[in-house]
Amino acid sequence: MPAIYLDANASTPLDPEVLDAMLPFLRDHFGNATSGHARGQVLNAAMETARGHVADLLGCLPDEIYFTSGGSESNNLIVKGVAGAGAASPGQGRHMVISAVEHPSVVHAALSLEAAGWRITQLGVRPDGRVDPAAAAAAVTPDTMLVSVILAQNETGTLQPIRGISEAIGRSRTLFHSDAAQAIGKIRVKVQDLGVDLLSLAAHKFYGP
């Protein structure tokens, strides 16, 4: 009897159409997309086309899309990248707010900052597993550089009120991030609808590479 795969929340099989689209680049169009020669220009054009497609799906601009190796790298890049930008800007605070139900890649990145002297506030959740937007707003101080709340929790599937949290914390200098790796491909995910500044995804969660 063929095995039945029941772990799609961890990773999905590659869609055959995606494989067909990728094969020419894996087999024939190899090279460096930043090279100035003709091969590099072909690759660069293909990458920019892909960037445009992703931007259209998420409702953002192509130059706002950054490709990484996956969700964990994206989360780490966002948390530590915001911290690095703050460290380079005089007068910026050293405080972040994360929910208690974040993916480990967010938690570990935040804890590494805490070990380096940052103050990290972890938001608890209500009995329904959701963050209270008012509690998120109350946790934000003038020193808060980032608030990070996962969109769909990777173990329980709970959907967080991201738009409500965004409205509660307001459009101050505090950046708002959401890890949407478990939501993309299952529900509508649009940057403007969510009200986030930063969003992380993982293609292998929705039949991509």
The answer to whether residue 10 scores a pLDDT higher than 80 is yes
Q: Cα separation of 56 and 22, whole Å?
A: 20
Report the DSSP pairing between strands 119-123 and 175-179. Answer: unpaired
Residue-wise pLDDT tens digits, 69-99: 999 999 999 999 999 987 666 667 899 999 9
Give the per-residue pLDDT at 85: 87
| Phi, then psi, of 188 in degrees rounded to 5 | -65, 130
Same domain, 87 and 122: yes
Q: Please report which helix (H) or strand (E) contains residue 194, including its range.
A: helix 191-194
The Cβ of residue 133 has, within 10 Å, a number of other Cβ atoms equal to 19
Same domain, 93 and 141: yes
Same domain, 99 and 53: no
Residue-wise pLDDT tens digits, 109-149: 999 999 999 999 999 999 999 999 999 999 999 999 999 99
Same domain, 121 and 175: yes
Same domain, 35 and 116: no
The CA–CA distances, whole Å, from 9 to 157, 177, 187 equal: 9, 21, 14
Cβ neighbours of residue 15 closer than 8 Å, sequence gap 6 or more:
207, 208
Q: Which of 32, 49, 64 is the last residue of a domain?
A: 64
Same domain, 171 and 104: yes
Give the per-residue pLDDT at 88: 60
Assess if residue 130 is contained within a domain.
Answer: yes
Q: Cα separation of 180 and 176, whole Å?
A: 13
Same domain, 43 and 120: no
Whether 173 and 182 have beta carbons less than 8 Å apart is answered as: no
Same domain, 38 and 130: no
Cβ neighbours of residue 4 closer than 8 Å, sequence gap 6 or more:
none
Same domain, 85 and 49: no
pTM: predicted TM-score of the whole model, two decimal places: 0.93
CATH number of the domain encompassing residue 126: 3.40.640.10
Assess if residue 94 is contained within a domain.
Answer: yes
The Cβ of residue 21 has, within 10 Å, a number of other Cβ atoms equal to 13
- How many domains does one find in the chain? 2
Give the per-residue pLDDT at 172: 73
Whether 142 and 165 have beta carbons less than 8 Å apart is answered as: no
Same domain, 100 and 164: yes
Q: Cα separation of 24 and 197, whole Å?
A: 34
Same domain, 42 and 82: no
Residue-wise pLDDT tens digits, 144-200: 999 999 999 999 999 999 999 999 999 777 999 999 999 999 999 999 999 999 999
Give the per-residue pLDDT at 92: 74
Residue-wise pLDDT tens digits, 28-48: 988 899 999 999 999 999 999
Assess if residue 108 is contained within a domain.
Answer: yes
Domain extent for 164: 71-203
Same domain, 35 and 89: no
